[in-house]
Amino acid sequence: MQTASRLMAAMMMGGLLASQAVFAQPLLEVLVPAYFDPSSNPAGWNTLTTTAQKIPLSVIMNPASGPGSAQDASYVTAVQNIRLAGGHVLGYVATGYGTRPMADVINDINLYIAWYPVDGIFIDEMSSDANTSHYSYYQSIYNQIKTISYSYRVIGNPGTNTQEAYLMLPTADALVVFESTAKNYGKYVPGAWIFNYSRQYFGNLIYSMSDSSQISSYLNLALNRNAGLVYLTNDGGRNPWNTLPGYWDAEVNCIAQINQGSGC
């Protein structure tokens, strides 16, 4: 009963969140899962640094499906460069859809913060069901991060439509509600509740999009689906995030034009 009452109170608070217009927000921010090492692909990270000077950019670093076993000097430099250019960097943490031991999750978070000048945490493998134990699990992670620094941004990735409570409790500052192929994006239908909020709270990550002439169509479709965090790539396979797309410059330019109001 107490859990239900707390959830109801949080949802009422969320109503206030939903009604707030955020006028200063750009239409689109690019959220890049940069799951490639800056020591083996320095050009990719240098490109991201340049991008940070052009459009709103958040980069997800992922040394070893988490922070790894030791600080990596190449990541320290890469993260610093992106932040100096105006971008932001989030550390990747897996959660096993609510099954990973909390102590292991918190340890990964603490290692990122100790080793790298990150701006927040990317919570992957996030559950999307209405299990109250999962609500509590992710809310505990969120609260731990915000206790360290309230300025840290927390992006959760269920990768699919999810429950409104995950945003309203909150368990994250933003949620990735689509992570799949361009083919699947064509038939994706966002949850109706998503349109009650500003698009800054939602992300769409789209891979296997090979036709560069469709960049504008997909970005505008993301806008229509109320997603303010976006990423398109022609990469695919088991890890579609291990390199930047071949059409990266065109994607960046299109996002810049949309944000300037000239359309793309």
Quick one: pLDDT at residue 108? 99
DSSP three-state, residue 10 = helix
Cα–Cα–Cα angle for 86, 210, 224, nearest 5°?
A: 65
DSSP three-state, residue 148 = helix
Q: For residues 175 and 125, what is the distance between their CA atoms, to the nearest angstrom?
A: 12
Q: For residues 155 and 139, what is the distance between their CA atoms, to the nearest angstrom?
A: 12
Q: For residues 5 and 20, what is the distance between their CA atoms, to the nearest angstrom?
A: 24
Q: For residues 259 and 26, what is the distance between their CA atoms, to the nearest angstrom?
A: 6
Quick one: pLDDT at residue 16? 37
Domains identified in the chain and CATH numbers: 32-260 (3.20.20.70)
- Give the tens place of pLDDT for each residue, 81-120: 999 999 999 999 999 999 999 999 999 999 999 999 999 9
Determine the straight-line distance between the first and last CA of the chain, rounded to whole angstroms: 50
Per-residue pLDDT of the chain (264 residues; tens, 9 = 90+): 344 444 444 444 444 343 333 345 789 999 999 999 999 999 999 999 999 999 999 999 999 999 999 999 999 999 999 999 999 999 999 999 999 999 999 999 999 999 999 999 999 999 999 999 999 999 999 999 999 999 999 999 999 999 999 999 999 999 999 999 999 999 999 999 999 999 999 999 999 999 999 999 999 999 999 999 999 999 999 999 999 999 999 999 999 999 999 889
Q: For residues 66 and 88, what is the distance between their CA atoms, to the nearest angstrom?
A: 17
Quick one: pLDDT at residue 263? 86
